[in-house]
Structure 1
Amino acid sequence: MERSTLTWYFKYYHVVEGENRIKKRHREGIDVTLKNSVQIGRPKAELTDAFKAVYTEWKDGRITGQKR
């Protein structure tokens, strides 16, 4: 086997192992977070009455999202 081929195999192995370590650490962190009942991601947005009113108008076709 050529030296350049061996070098390529070694570099590929090193990259794959690094990716596997990162995935494993991510999974461990997610598992600990879920075990401790910590919320993951953005908090849910609260819908205001103004938003609900405008949404209803939009759904009814009284307003559009485009300029006329």
Structure 2
Amino acid sequence: MTKKMINQDKPKLARRQFLVGAGAGVAAAGAALVVSKQPEMAEQAAATGTEKKSKGYQLSEHVKTYYRTLLV
């Protein structure tokens, strides 16, 4: 290899290392954000889960009226 070839490889390697480091930093920041939001989301889910319990499908008068309109 000549000196010219060796010098050309160094900037490429430095850019690659920078991009790898930046990518790892972004991934770590994203993981930290997700981990910090999980307790809040769990508390919200617990609060909304106890407030309203669904009884499932119920056939009421307004539903019966709607079904009658479909029979036309």
Gaps of 5+ in 2: 1-9
State the number of aligned residues.
Answer: 53
**TM-score normalised over the length of structure 2:** 0.51
SS at match of 1:38: helix
Which protein is bigger by CA-based radius of gyration? 2
Percent identity reads 2
Q: Is the alpha carbon distance of 1:57 and 1:25 closer, same or farther for their aligned partners in structure 2, counting shifts above 3 Å?
A: farther
Q: When the two structures are superposed, what TM-score results if normalisation uses the length of structure 1?
A: 0.54
Higher relative CO (CA 8 A, sep ≥ 6), structure 1 or 2? 1
Cα deviation for residue 11 of structure 1 reads 1.1
Residue 6 of structure 2 is matched in structure 1 by none
Gaps of 5+ in 1: 64-68
CA distance in 2, matches of 1:62, 1:25: 53
The RMSD of aligned alpha carbons is: 3.0
Give the helix-richer structure, 1 or 2: 2
Matched with 1:18 is 29
Question: Which stretches of structure 1, 4 residues or more, deviate above 2 A after TM superposition?
Answer: 31-34, 47-50
